[in-house]
Amino acid sequence: MDISVIIALLNEEESLPELISWTVGVLEKHDFSYEIIMIDDGSTDNSWSVIERLQQENRNIRGVKFRRNYGKSPALYAGFARAQGSVVITMDADLQDNPEEIPELYNMITKQGFDLVSGWKKKRHDPILSKNIPSKVFNRAVRMMSGIKLHDFNCGLKAYKHQVIKSIEVYGEMHRYIPVLAKQAGFKKIGEKIVKHQERKYGKSKFGMSRFINGFLDLISVSFISRFSKRPMHFFGALGSLAFFAGFTTLAYLSVAKLVYHQYQMTERPLFFFGLLMIIFGTQLFLTGFLAELISRSSSDRNNYLIDIEN
């Protein structure tokens, strides 16, 4: 199968018929063998009824209905688990992503050798203050922390090699960081394509300003887990050792000042309490790293490594 198109949706009953008709037209025009997997993330409107009707009209359409709303990342995870195409396309259901981009995205994966291609909505049809400016700040921060030169990490329109989606785990709200997860899984050829961004035709956006705060926290999480999940002692132990050394040095200085230079009232000085605090803090960090190391070593996937080629 050439292409799997994964569409995560929430309350998009009005846009689905037009979106599917447009997408199917593009895929069949270019003679792609395809499947379209729609993940209903707990919609409260008639989205699932529309999906069932579309399935009856086209046997290449598959549907998954969540019992309640879990979020975009779990929806994509469910779609990735079921995708069979050699190239996987993700797109939003609100008609702001243009299906006409699919053939070129497919060629970039199959002919130009990219592992992942992310869309770049260079000209956006979104509110400036609530979306455009925060999005630019967010993308700049992710570029700096990840080293991946993309302009629009959160663009829903992306293309992946089949191996990429089977090698990463998307959970929480990590869909924003799929390029980062792919890079950490060893897929280094990550590209970008300027895509046309459509104005929203039906309904309203399902995301608020909280996504930027949550996104920043998720970036810290994914950076930490990718670097230290199999060696947590390297992180906590290093910080603990530094804190302990700072505390020990401070108390040593105060001890010398009392014994050699006969200075008094050392226990009443703020520096004394700082030294004690650093020793306690350092010990706690070291023990945290030790416990995390024990948990990591008892994990069932502690020796689970991604293999690219085996002859």
Domain boundaries defined on the chain: 3-228, 232-297
Q: Is residue 303 predicted with pLDDT exceeding 60?
A: no
Backbone angles phi, psi at 87, to 5 degrees: -125, 135
Give the contacts of 81 (CB within 8 A, at least 6 positions apart): none
Render pLDDT for 194-253 as a digit per residue (tens, 0 to 9).
998 887 777 666 555 566 677 677 777 777 766 776 778 888 888 999 999 999 999 898
Q: How confident is the model at residue 311 (pLDDT cuts 50, 70, 90)?
A: very low
pLDDT of residue 235: 85
pLDDT of residue 232: 82
Task: For the domain made up of 3-228, give the CATH fold.
Answer: Spore Coat Polysaccharide Biosynthesis Protein SpsA; Chain A (3.90.550)
Q: Is residue 302 predicted with pLDDT exceeding 90?
A: no
In whole angstroms, what is the distance from residue 90 CA to residue 113 CA? 18
For the chain, what is the largest distance between any 2 Cα atoms, rounded to a whole number of angstroms?
Answer: 92
Amino acid at 147: G
In whole angstroms, what is the distance from residue 42 CA to residue 224 CA? 31
147: left (phi over 0), alpha (psi -120 to 50) or beta: left
| Contact (CB, 8 A) for 5 and 22 | no
Q: Is residue 190 predicted with pLDDT exceeding 70?
A: yes
Cα 279-280-286 angle, rounded to 5 deg: 90
Residues linked to residue 192 through DSSP beta bridges, in sequence order: 118
281: left (phi over 0), alpha (psi -120 to 50) or beta: alpha
3-state SS, residue 68: coil
Render pLDDT for 133-150 as a digit per residue (tens, 0 to 9).
777 887 888 888 788 989
Residues linked to residue 34 through DSSP beta bridges, in sequence order: 3
| Contact (CB, 8 A) for 28 and 64 | no
Catalogue the long-range contacts made by 198-201 (C-beta closer than 8 Å, 24 or more residues apart).
198/95, 198/96, 198/97, 198/98, 198/125, 199/96, 199/125, 200/94, 200/95, 200/96, 200/125, 201/14, 201/15, 201/18, 201/94, 201/95
Amino acid at 187: F
Render pLDDT for 249-280 as a digit per residue (tens, 0 to 9).
998 988 888 777 677 677 778 888 999 999 99
Nearest to 86 by CA among 38, 39, 33, 36: 33
